[in-house]
Amino acid sequence: QIKGFVFDLDGVITDTSLYHTKAWRQLAEKLGVTWTKTLEDGLKGISRMDSLEIILKAGGIENNYTHDQKVALATEKNTNYVNEIKKMTPDNILPGIKAFLDDLRDNGYLISLASASKNGPTVLERLQLTDYFPKIVDPASLSKGKPDPEIYVKGAELLNLPPEACIGVEDAAAGIEAINAAHETSVGIGDAQTLAAADVRFDDTSQMTLANIKAKMG
Ligand code: G6P
Ligand code: MG
């Protein structure tokens, strides 16, 4: 029986995945790396330094920079991203999410956050959703990022629930893989091809309701 929900943030609760993409694309093109949809999708759910490494490898330039230079590049991207999220308001909450969180709370489900983003708490504040997420996995505490299950295992642990009693919600293929490997039920938000491994899938957040999830879980 499902008792808790473990949420990804970027691309699920809010449209910040657009800002991550914009900031990475700007950096990639400055470094002469060609931006593609495959590169873009492959970065979703991936930590800051791992994302940079993927971009540099896509351009075959991963050995052109020292560790300190890579840290500086990642910091440059983050500065641009942080500037974007400063402008955010509750209007940036994706359709249906506020009602869904209220419904979960009213029905006694426990809720935690499993975002790889170190900016997660700031984004929740901007959205005025902090109160809904009393339990947040600290991405700095992880030994491995998504698609490793660690972040979703910790998300369930924070709720004192076994993974089998949790649903994980994700927009990224790496995230769905992490949820499945953690033995939670996976709900994917996005296109069928990218999220083929999801137990339940919706095209967008507006369709994600408790009733619809139950119906699809059978
Ligand atoms: C999420 C996003 C990624 C982002 C990562 C780290 O997983 O989907 O696009 O790279 O968080 O975010 P951060 O804010 O710590 O750089
Ligand atoms: Mg995401």
Encode pLDDT of 152-162 as tens digits.
999 999 999 99
In this structure, are residues 176 and 210 in contact, taking their beta carbons and an 8 Å threshold? no
Q: Tell me, what's the pLDDT at 126?
A: 98
Question: Can you read off the two tokens belonging to residue 187?
Answer: 């709900």
Please name which ligand lies nearest the alpha carbon of 14: 2
**pLDDT by residue (tens digit) across 176-193?**
999 999 999 999 999 999
ipTM here: 0.98
Helix (H, G, I), strand (E, B) or coil at 11: coil
Question: How close is the Cα of 1 to the center of ligand 1, in Å?
Answer: 31
User: For residues 147 and 175, what is the distance between their CA atoms, to the nearest angstrom?
Assistant: 6
Q: Tell me, what's the pLDDT at 92?
A: 98
Half-sphere exposure of 202 (CA within 13 A, CB side): 23
Confidence (pTM): 0.96
171 lines ligand 1 (CB under 6 A): no
Question: How close is the Cα of 11 to the center of ligand 2, in Å?
Answer: 5
